[in-house]
Homo-oligomer: A and B are copies of this chain.
Amino acid sequence: MAGEDRRRGRWKSGAEPGGKSAQASESKDTSGDLPIFRDGMRIGLINIGDELLLGKILNTNARDLAGWIAELGHELAFNLTIGDHADAISHTLRSVVSESGVLPRCGMLILTGGLGPTRDDITREAVAEFLGQPLEFSREAEAWLAERLGVSADKINEGQRQQLHIPGGSIPLRNTAGTACGFRVEKNGINIFAFPGVPYEFRTMFDEHCRPLLLRRDAVLLHKRVVTFGLSESRQRECLKGFVTPEPFRFSSLPSEPGVTISLEAFVDSAEAEAMQTRLDQAWEEMLERFPAECIVERNGASLTETVFRLLKNSNRTVSVAESCTSGALGYLLTEIPGSSSVFRQGFLTYSYEAKNGLLNVPQELLEQHGAVSEPVALAMVRGCLKNSNTDYAVAITGIAGPDGGSEEKPVGLVYIAVASQKSVEVQKFVFRGDRKTNRWQSAYSALNRLRLLILKEL
C-alpha cells in the first residue's frame, strides 16, 4: 500500500526555488523536501497541437521525454495527443485526476504545446478552467522575460505579455530558451507541468524544472549497450539461443541504419548495486561471447562513426573516399564527429564516367567492359583514390541506388564497396533491398564498417 501511494506520486511541494505560495484548493506545505520515488513514478504525457493531429510534424518531444523518463527510472504510462480544443484538454485532465478515469492515474502529468501567443494557443485557459481558477498575470515571469530580452518591463509587447498569464494557484516556471512562461500546479496529489511544445524549449525546461525532481536517490541505473553491425536480428536470435537474461535486467535490441543496438539495463536498489553490477557484467560478457567478434562495433558501446574516428585518430591515420552512388553520404558520415579534420583528408564524388576516369584514373576500357557498377571498377576507384589522396586508407563505393537503372544481372541495390590501405585492397558485393534513400545510407554505413574491419586487421 505504501508503494501504491508513492506510485501515485503525491509529494511535498515547494521544491521550486522561489515558488510563490499556492492559492489552489489543494493543501500544500513548503517544507522543501525533494520527492523520493523508490519504485519509480508513473508519469503521463499530453501533447497539445492540431499540427500533430494533421500529420504536419513528427512528435520528437514524445520520443525524447519517453527516453528521459526511462533513463531516470520512472514509467511513462501513456502519451496522448489532442488538438487545440479547450474542452478536450480540460476533459482529459478531469479524467486523469479522477479515480475512475480511463487513463492510468499518474503522479506527474506533463503537458506540452499551446503556450504560444496565437489564437489557437489555449492550454493556459483550459487548465485554468479545469482548476476553476482565473488566469493571472505573473509579475515574476514578466521580470524574467524583461531580463531575457534586456528591456524594461513596459517594452514587452502584447503577444509576449499574453504568454505571461498562468492559472491562479500555479507556480510560474522560467523559460530560459524562449518567451512563453511554463507553470506547475498540484491537483488531487498529481503534479501537473505545462511546457511549450518547441523541442528546444521543452528540453531546456524539462531539464531545469522536472529532472531534478525525478533523480532517484534510492536506486541506480545499471546498463550496458553495444552496437552490432552485420548481425541481423534473426542471426542474433540464433546466437542468443539458451541465453537467459538475468533478473531484473531487461534485454532490448533496436535496429537502425547505423547498426543494431543491444542493451541490458535495470534500476536496482542502491544497497544491491554492487552485487547486481557483478551479475550484469558476467551476463554481458557471456552474451558478447556469443556474437561473432567482427560484428561488435566496439565493446564500450560507441557508435560506428565514433569508433572509426577513434581508430583513425588513435593510430594517427588518415582516410579519403571515392563515392559514386552515395555521392557524399560517406564523406558526410566521416566528418560527423567534431575534430574529424585530423583524420579525413579529402573525397571525390565521381558520379560520371568522366569523373571516375579523370579524378581516379579508372581506365575507360574497364568502365566500358564491366560497367561502372562492378568489382574491377570498385577496385580501380579505391586504388586511384588512395594514390591521388596520399592517405593511409581509402574507401570506394559504386552501386545502383534505384529506383531505376537495374537489370536482371545488376539489380537495383547492387553495390560494390572497396577498401584499401598501403598494404592491402579488398572489395565486397552487397545487394540492398530498400528504396533509394535507404540503399544510399546503408551503403555508406557498410563502407564505414569495412573500413573499421580493415583498420583492426592492420593494427
A130 at interface by CB-CB < 8 Å? no
Centre residue among A59, A327, A347, A404 by max chain B CB count within 10 A: A327
Instruction: A109 to B42: give the CA distance in the assembly, Å.
Output: 26
Which of A195-249 touch B at CB < 8 Å? none
For A57, the chain B residues whose CB sits under 8 A away are 63, 254
Chain B residues with CB under 8 A of A102: 91-92, 94-95, 101-103
Q: Which of A3-11, A68-76, A277-285 contacts B (4 or more CB under 8 A)?
A: A68-76
- The answer to whether A54 and B70 touch (CB under 8 A), given A327-B334, A346-B355, A352-B346, is yes
Question: How far, in whole Å, are A106 and B103 apart by their CA atoms in the complex?
Answer: 17
A293 at the interface (CB under 8 A from B): no
Q: Could you tell me how many residues of chain A have their Cβ less than 8 Å away from some Cβ of chain B?
A: 77
| B332 adjacent to A332 (CB under 8 Å) | yes
Task: Name, among A95, A102, A340, the residue most crowded by chain B CB atoms within 10 Å (CB to CB).
Answer: A102
The answer to whether residues A82 and B78 also contact, given A103-B102, A346-B348, A349-B348 and a CB cut-off of 8 A, is yes
Is A176 part of the contact surface with B, judged by Cβ < 8 Å? no
Tell me the A401-432 residues at the B interface (CB within 8 Å).
Answer: 401-405
Interface presence of A60 (CB below 8 A): yes
Q: Which of A332-361 contact B (CB under 8 A)?
A: 332, 334-336, 338-341, 344-352, 354-355, 358-359
A81 on interface, CB distance cutoff 8 Å: yes
CA of A300 to CA of B302, assembled, Å: 45
Question: Are A60 and B58 in contact (CB-based, < 8 A)?
Answer: yes
Identify the closest chain B residue to A347 (Cβ): B349
Contacts A55-B66, A101-B102; A344 near B327 (Cβ below 8 A): yes
Contact in complex: A66, B52 (CB < 8 Å)? yes
| Contacting residues of chain A (154-179) with chain B, CB-CB under 8 angstroms | none
Q: Does A276 contact B (CB under 8 A)?
A: no
Report the bound CA distance from A104 to B81 in whole Å. 12
In the complex the two chains form, what is the Cα distance from A63 to B49 in whole Å? 13
**Given A55-B70, A68-B55, A341 contacting B351 (CB threshold 8 A):** yes
- B327 in contact with A349 (CB, 8 Å): no
Closest to A64 in B: B55
B-chain residues with CB within 8 Å of residue A328 when the two chains form the complex: 323, 327-332, 335, 347, 349
Confirm or deny: A453 has a beta carbon within 8 angstroms of a beta carbon on chain B: no
Determine whether A448 belongs to the interface, using a CB cutoff of 8 Å to chain B: no
A436 interface residue (CB < 8 Å to B): yes
Q: Give which listed residue, B78, B339, B354, contacts A345 with CB less than 8 A.
A: B354
Q: Which B residue sits closest to A434, measured CB to CB? A: B200
A326 beta carbon closer than 8 Å to chain B = yes
Closest CB in chain B relative to A70 CB, distance in Å: 5
Q: Complex Cα distance A70/B95, Å?
A: 27
* Apart from the given pairs A53-B78, A349-B349, 12 other A-B contacts in the complex at a CB distance below 8 Å: A54-B252, A58-B60, A78-B81, A78-B82, A102-B102, A327-B332, A335-B351, A336-B437, A338-B405, A345-B352, A347-B347, A347-B348
The 5 A-B pairs at the shortest CB distance, nearest first, are namely: A55-B67, A328-B328, A347-B349, A55-B66, A328-B331
28 A-B interface contacts by CB (under 8 A):
A52-B62, A52-B63, A53-B76, A54-B252, A55-B68, A55-B69, A55-B76, A56-B254, A58-B58, A80-B81, A91-B102, A92-B102, A95-B102, A102-B102, A102-B103, A321-B349, A323-B331, A328-B328, A328-B330, A329-B332, A335-B351, A336-B436, A338-B436, A345-B355, A346-B349, A346-B358, A347-B348, A347-B349
